[in-house]
Structure 1
Amino acid sequence: MNLPLVSVIVPNYNYAESLDLCLRSVLDQTYPHLEVLVVDDCSTDDSVAVAEGLGVRVLSTGANGGCGNARNVGVAATTGSVLYFVDSDVSLAPDAVATAVRILGSDPAIGCVCGIEDPEPLLHDTITARYRGLQYHYWSVTAEGDITFLFPALCALRRDVFDDVGPFNPELRQTEEVDYGYRLTRRWRMVLTREVRGRHDHDHALRGLLRKLFHRGRLRVPLYLRARRFASGFETQSRAWGSLAAAASLATLPLGLAHSLLLVVPAAFLLLSLACDAGMYAFVLRRNGPAFLGLFTAVHFVVNVTITAGVAAGAVQWLGSRAFRRLYDRTFPAGAAA
């Protein structure tokens, strides 16, 4: 049987610490017909030396341009009929490539297969990393099936599909995956499955995670207003309401200064926020027990408030900036259906 050549493309920027584990997991795949390329986005650490020390080809982007641009560079420099994108802070399960190729070949309508990350963090066992691993895993598992939200840290797609959809938008740095998912699923199925697995080196510090989520929330505003809907998978209306309710509970807390009975208002918003993702909290309780659930809930409350703040900032920017409103003109050109 002739196996398709799979081009494994690893975009990297200053992830020398996890890159060794990432590349070793790629080189240890059960799938035998691979070419591996690290596209380095002008790192200032030892990333290039790590990759070259493992005998992996490295190509530089020439100027720092973000993950989307690095993936585009990698596609142009490889020849496989299947493209496999793996972020440099992700370690693959041994059969991750073979399983994705099998699923792609099972239905010609499937253009892309995305994997699900394990709940345990790859490297750092901080509270933030453990929180993010559990939250990201649960949200992914509950979105399993057909999606429109691309998971580019661990995904495979056919080259002919990439050629049809076009490259990642190099102007986007925090939302290129949602943008690409909208474009791809206009003509092809995209599937998220736990059969394809990996482990992620999640954010170690809360400040860094919050900064990232704030800007992702801000930059999604013009995209979702143009699309008139959320991307299916991962982000849901219920979770959006949960974020809004968490922010409302904080905003109404001063009511208790007027009268203690008015504390029922922020309490009600807090309960609503918890109810909007009750399944996730039950999952964390079963897996990690009540003590960690308390820490998890506190972190997720702060995350929800941060996301709402990012969306609010994006709404203000959308009202005041024509350039911001046109950020996704490539995805939704004038006269095209949303």
Structure 2
Amino acid sequence: MPAAISVIVPVHNSARFLKACLEHLKRSSFQDYECIVVDDGSTDDSAEVAKAAGATLRTTDRRRGPAYARNIGAKSAQGEILFFIDADVCVSPNTLERVHANFEQDPELTAVMGSYDDVPESQDFISLYKNLMHSYVHHTSRHEACTFWSGCGAIRKSVFEEFSGFDESYERPAIEDIELGYRLNAAKKKLLLDPTMLVKHLKRWSFFGLIKTDIMDRGIPWTELILRDRMLPNDLNLQLSQRVSVALVFLLILCAMYTTLRVGRSFTLAILTLLFLMLAQFGVESRWRTQPKALVAMLGLMAFIVYLAWVTYSGWLIPPVIIAYALLFFRHRYAFKTQRARRISGALCGAYLVGTVVFTFLYLPFERTALLFYAVLMIVILLNSQFYVFLAGRTGRLLALAAIPFHLLYHFYNGISFGVGMVRHVFRRAFAPHNVVPQAKDASVSQDR
């Protein structure tokens, strides 16, 4: 008798993550499933890991992308429900149980997607920020979804085949899952977001890897998809508050530029000093071996602040800033014998940091254009305050504070992505008016057990 659920895992050079992924699947409370691993042109021992775990193995002739790999897995699946997960996630003990229950409880349900949990495997700042933002968005969005997510998403096989699966023209990990979700939504299929259907993300993000993924693999293609389908739902990352935040961040930049022209470099010095203090916790976590670019960026920012303080005769601003950074550095790098000692040191560091921030605020100019800058900044922070509270509850207040400038940067490059996506969409409409979206093709695939 065929399994109730077919779990499909595409993998490319992720043997270490895949091993953990398959081990957690075996610990599921729901055992009526088959596991199909599709090795998408890996050069490591991903295939051997899949075989050792007893998974059904499919291999492609070369790297073709996760959309292609998932379609291959779906063709081999025996279950009525296809459950897609990435190789770098681990299911919770009840994840498969939640998948099965959702479809059993609602015969009209076409697809369901879950969420990352709020305890990411990697505890560095960038990974915490990225994974917890995903968790927050999925836990606060409407349960009636209008898209799909293949990192932890299930769909009826009959519907998946009816819609020809994922669009294989996406040869890199991109928005092939969102694109499928938009097609399903346009056909009035019922889609569900279940925030209790959890997986743990194992990936360790880097700063520049995060930006590249958000812009090139997500932001620009997603914009083109929105314009192609003329669909801009007020949900997930496209909520109205997020769109307003993007517009306000660009207004904030204009205000900062105009205020600098009117007031001079002293305004820039104060703003960069506040930025440095907010990023201090991120800076002390950066290590040369793992995050050399981040460390260089923080040291470069400090050097530029020292230079501006020197040329504006504001050298008195430098010592308190350096002391604040040094206190956080020593607290992060040296362990305390008791929890009480760590709490006391944290309170002292926090008090000193707050005092330094207040001291820097007193140095800020308070003229009309500067006040507009402060007002816009406060509005953006308030619009996203629930996310910062969510972060503070799971990472601590210092890391939540460091997340604010990263979130402003996130809104900024989302705006850039939207602009580039619009230009590309118009260009393609003008020069390739008869271009159609490719459908899933027959695949070159070898089979193994």
**TM-score for both structures, normalised by structure 1:** 0.90
Counterparts of residues 207-286 of structure 1 (less than 5 Å): 207-215=208-216, 216-231=218-233, 233-235=235-237, 236-260=239-263, 261=367, 262-286=369-393
Question: Which residue identity is paired with 2:108?
Answer: A
- Pairing partner for 1:143 from 128, 138, 141: 141
* Structure 1 unaligned spans of 5+: 332-338
Whether 2:174 is the aligned partner of 1:171: answer: no
Give the 3-state SS of the residue equivalent to 1:321 in structure 2: helix
Give the 3-state SS of the residue equivalent to 2:113 in structure 1: strand
| 8 Å Cα contact 2:168-2:438 kept in structure 1 | no
After superposition, give the CA deviation of every residue in 1:78-102 in whole Å (9 maximum; x if it has no partner).
2111111111011001111122111
Question: Which residue identity is paired with 2:53?
Answer: L
Cα distance between partner residues in 2 of 1:315 and 1:23: 40
- Larger-Rg structure: 2
Cα distance between partner residues in 1 of 2:53 and 2:386: 42
In proportion to residue count, which structure has more helix? 2
Question: Which residue identity is paired with 1:129?
Answer: S
After superposition, give the CA deviation of every residue in 1:112-141 in whole Å (9 maximum; x if it has no partner).
11112102212x221110001211111000
Name 2:410's counterpart in structure 1. 303
Name 1:313's counterpart in structure 2. 420
Question: Which residue identity is paired with 1:80?
Answer: G
Question: Which residue identity is paired with 2:227?
Answer: L
Name 1:189's counterpart in structure 2. 190
**1:326 Cα deviation from its structure 2 partner:** 7.2
* Structure 2 unaligned spans of 5+: 264-366, 440-449
Q: Number of matched residues?
A: 329
**Residues 327, 193 of structure 1: alpha-carbon distance in 2 compared, 3 angstrom cutoff:** farther
After superposition, give the CA deviation of every residue in 1:306-328 in whole Å (9 maximum; x if it has no partner).
22211121122223333688777
Name 2:12's counterpart in structure 1. 13
**Residues 224, 302 of structure 1: alpha-carbon distance in 2 compared, 3 angstrom cutoff:** same
**1:329 Cα deviation from its structure 2 partner:** 4.1
**1:171 Cα deviation from its structure 2 partner:** 0.7
| 8 Å Cα contact 1:132-1:202 kept in structure 2 | no
Cα distance between partner residues in 1 of 2:147 and 2:254: 31
Question: Which residue identity is paired with 2:374?
Answer: A
Give the 3-state SS of the residue equivalent to 1:190 in structure 2: strand
After superposition, give the CA deviation of every residue in 1:276-311 in whole Å (9 maximum; x if it has no partner).
322211212233332111111122222222222111
Cα distance between partner residues in 2 of 1:232 and 1:83: 27
**Residues 168, 327 of structure 1: alpha-carbon distance in 2 compared, 3 angstrom cutoff:** farther
Give the 3-state SS of the residue equivalent to 2:34 in structure 1: strand
Cα distance between partner residues in 1 of 2:378 and 2:436: 36
Counterparts of residues 94-113 of structure 1 (less than 5 Å): 94-113=93-112
**1:150 Cα deviation from its structure 2 partner:** 0.9
Question: Which residue identity is paired with 2:411?
Answer: N
Give the 3-state SS of the residue equivalent to 2:236 in structure 1: coil
Give the 3-state SS of the residue equivalent to 1:130 in structure 2: helix
